[in-house]
Amino acid sequence: MTILNDTRFIDGLEDNTRKSMIELLNKNLADTTALTLAVKQAHWTLKGAGFIGVHELLDDVADRLRESSDEMAERIMIIGGQAMGTIEAVNSSNSMEKYPTDINNVDDHINHLVTRFAAVGKNIRKAIAEAGDAGDENTADLFTGISRQIDKDSWFIGANIQK
């Protein structure tokens, strides 16, 4: 159950809309945080052709994912919720498969990351529609910006596959 805390910062959103948006934002916060950690795992452990370029790219991607997570967490607080970003909360509520910790090959990491970016991107696009349908255009807009970045970073990462 979502508890509404301080709601004085927003007027014009019904409590039911706030509650559903808090849940939606927290769900996507968990997925984005899990994706960030997968990106960092790859960044730390990859080896092979194209190492330095991919290594540096993944650091930048992780920074952008953290910015997206921060925007979601702030929106949760703005609309009166509680951001759930601890490792325990993320572990229990993200929808991602566990990232393999026994791989090092650049292409293997890229393939695993692109798959995860596609899944998170799909969930974010669903969240855009859900927020719009609920009448929270600001949250829908936030998700739209995040969606564009997820898609772009997926492309940046995937373009490094050695064929």
Quick check: is 145 in a domain?
Answer: yes
CATH number of the domain at 106, please.
1.20.1260.10
Provide the pLDDT for residue 163.
Answer: 63
Provide the pLDDT for residue 3.
Answer: 58
The CA-atom distances, in angstroms, between 46 and each of 84, 105, 116 are: 30, 6, 17
The CA-atom distances, in angstroms, between 103 and each of 72, 91, 146 are: 31, 21, 28
Provide the pLDDT for residue 75.
Answer: 97
Quick check: is 135 in a domain?
Answer: yes
Can you give the pTM of this predicted structure? 0.93
Quick check: is 163 in a domain?
Answer: no
Provide the pLDDT for residue 41.
Answer: 98
Provide the pLDDT for residue 12.
Answer: 79
Q: Which two tokens stand for residue 144?
A: 């739209």
Quick check: is 131 in a domain?
Answer: yes
The CA-atom distances, in angstroms, between 144 and each of 43, 64, 111, 115 are: 26, 14, 24, 20
Provide the pLDDT for residue 1.
Answer: 47
Where the chain has pLDDT below 70, the residues are 1-4, 6-8, 162-163
Provide the pLDDT for residue 136.
Answer: 97
Provide the pLDDT for residue 4.
Answer: 62
Domain count, the chain: 1
Quick check: is 9 in a domain?
Answer: no
Domain that holds residue 59: 15-93+101-158
